[in-house]
A = this chain, B = another copy of it.
Amino acid sequence: MLHVAEAARVSVATVSALINGTATVSPELSARIEQAIRDIGYKRNAIARSLKMGTTRTIGLTVPHITNPFFTDVVSVIQQAFDRAGYAVMLCCTDEDLNTQDDQIRLLLDRMVDGLIVARVGDGALLRGIVEDANVPVVLLDRTLEGVDTDAVVLDNQSAVFDAITYLINLGHRRIAYITGTSDISTMGDRMAGYREALQAAGLPVSPELIRSGNFHEIDGYNATMQLLSLHERPSAIFSANNPMVIGTMKAIRDIGLSCPEDISVACFDDFPWSDVFQPQLTTVAQPVQAIGEQAANLLLDRLAGNRDAPPRKLVLKGRLMIRNSCRPLGAVVQGVTA
């Protein structure tokens, strides 16, 4: 900018005024300055600007795993929304690990992000502190945090799972296994509650042997399913509370020589883009990813626009049960054999 000012024989203040439109500058100087900008190929230094202005027009986004299609989609939507608003987004993957998450949040804060969207992991004392300091607005995505009062957009997990389990019950299933993630995550607790509620509403027992938990990865779903399938009395249906784990479930079913839905019914949380193309077509609880991403972005953009003092807003969206062909009615006895 100094060079531009010199070339145009004006002060830097005038250049700044022209660029930002913060004051009127005469046509002749404008012309000279614009010419100089073109000649020099000047680009404003956003770092210097950020230092002075105290804002980076950059936000931080952390998710447990970007390869989980749910998060992939949400990240995509959020990125687009902020891109439209002229914000950059720094993406971090916490790998379901609290320490990693803390490191990454610190990294983001160091870089003075204007706001944070966090699909949290673990308990998060750090996160709690940030929200309380209230220097940078935080919106919680997908997973709330007990006792932390800040903007959030989540799914009504309990009723979504309630609907799915009830659907299985109505198909005639009685022994319905449930594979969950680690219990410190709000979504997992809520989903489990939906499972229990549905069983109880139908007068069915909740047997601990049918409930397995893992750390959200495919391998965890695989191991859990292996255990379930080797029970003396095998479940007739499995519900997986998490998307990557259901892949493990399907692999275990295949490896053990069974097939879905003939031998065992499967349903899971989170829809796949291709779920109605390949067999079995999985029955899933679809989250409104587009809406979730957009709402989260809007909540944060609203704070960034200056609306700092409004009370925390919590948006609860509804899931939708996508019924396909991975669950079979138990009334009719189907001779299940596939190639």
Contacts and interface: CB of A to CB of B under 8 A. Distances in A.
A85 B76 CA distance: 25
Given A67-B73, A72-B72, A76-B67, A47 B279 contact: no
| Copies held by the complex | 2
Given A112-B47, A279-B278, A90 B88 contact: yes
A77 to B, nearest CB: 10
A288 interface: no
A231 interface: no
A79 B67 contact: no
A41 to B, nearest CB: 9
A277 interface: yes
Which residue among A73, A107, A112, A277 has the maximum number of chain B CB atoms within 10 Å of its CB?
A277
A165 B89 CA distance: 40
A182 interface: no
Interface residues of A, number: 49
A284 interface: no
B111 A47 contact: yes
Contacts of A51: 45, 47-48, 51
A240 to B, nearest CB: 13
Interface in A273-297: 273-274, 276-280
Contact of A90 (B89, B278, B279): B89
Contact of A277 (B72, B80, B107, B250): B250
A196 to B, nearest CB: 29
Interface in A245-271: 247, 250-251, 254
Interface string A31-58: 0000000000001111110110000101
A95 B83 CA distance: 12
Interface of A: 43-48, 50-51, 56, 58, 65-67, 72-73, 75-76, 79-80, 83, 86, 88-93, 95, 104, 107-112, 218, 247, 250-251, 254, 272-274, 276-280, 338
6 contacts: A46-B112, A56-B111, A67-B76, A79-B91, A88-B108, A278-B278
